[in-house]
């Protein structure tokens, strides 16, 4: 025969759960503070660049900058020179396309998401949504010129010594 928990036991268990939850939040916040302190010069340099000064970012499993103009993406790649950035065309919940770049800098993962380079264009196209009855909606698609076969998929971005980090790299990405 099992003994039921008393109201006090349930309350104590709830309080222990709260402590575990708060502890994990404190740990996550502490990790963010440590990250910002380690990368303080890089983040402070953003404030000096009018194009980057008001950018918002989030810190979870990676440091994420979203809804960027392509020039901002290139400038951030110079501030946080990950070396090799993996580029991927993504689609949001509405069906609109954007580019996502992932790289690692000083042991931290970075995610930069936004517009494609100027060599690409964004077209609004109609797509059929399979439903009963079928629906047609408009989404934004990225159309880029075909890259030569020898061109690698990953981007290699190196900082330019003494240059402003908002300066664009030669060529498009």
Percentage of residues in the chain having pLDDT higher than 70:
83
Q: Find how far residue 47's CA is from the centre of its chain.
A: 19
pTM score above 0.75: no
- pLDDT tens digit sequence for 97-122: 888 999 999 989 999 999 888 888 77
d(CA 42, CA 40) in angstroms, rounded, equals 5
- Tell me, what's the pLDDT at 113? 93
Indicate if the pLDDT at residue 168 is higher than 70.
no
Of 61 and 11, more confident: 11
Cα 6 to Cα 10, 19, 24, 55, 109: the distances in Å are 6, 20, 27, 52, 47
Q: Where are the domains of the chain?
A: 40-119+146-157
pLDDT of residue 166: 32
List b or e across 60-74, with b for residues whose CB sees 16 or more CB atoms inside 10 angstroms.
Answer: eebbbbeebebbbbb
Q: ∠ CA 111-115-116 to the nearest 5 degrees?
A: 100
* Mean pLDDT score of the chain: 79
Q: Supply the pLDDT for residue 104.
A: 93
- For 88, 109, 128, the CA distances from 125, given in Å and listed in that order, are 20, 33, 10
pLDDT, tens digit (0-9, with 9 covering 90-100), for 47-73: 888 888 888 888 888 899 999 999 999
pLDDT at 155: 42
**Which pLDDT score is estimated for 157?**
42
Q: Are strands 63-68 and 135-143 parallel, antiparallel or unpaired?
A: unpaired
């Amino acid at each position: 025969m099992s003994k039921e928990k008393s109201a006090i036991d349930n309350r104590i268990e709830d309080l222990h759960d709260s402590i575990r939850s708060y502890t994990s939040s404190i740990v996550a916040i502490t990790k963010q503070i440590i990250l910002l302190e380690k990368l303080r010069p890089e983040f402070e340099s953003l404030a000096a660049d009018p194009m980057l000064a008001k950018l918002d970012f989030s810190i979870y499993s990676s440091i994420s900058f979203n809804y960027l103009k392509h020039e901002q993406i290139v400038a951030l790649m110079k501030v946080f020179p990950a070396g090799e950035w993996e580029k991927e065309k993504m689609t949001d919940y509405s069906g609109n396309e954007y580019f996502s770049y992932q790289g690692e800098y000083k042991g931290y993962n970075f995610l930069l998401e936004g517009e494609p380079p100027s060599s690409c264009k964004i077209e609004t196209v109609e797509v059929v949504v399979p439903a009963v009855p079928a629906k047609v909606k408009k989404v934004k698609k990225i159309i880029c010129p075909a890259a030569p076969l020898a061109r690698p998929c990953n981007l290699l971005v190196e900082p330019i010594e003494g240059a402003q980090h908002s300066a664009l790299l030669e060529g498009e990405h």
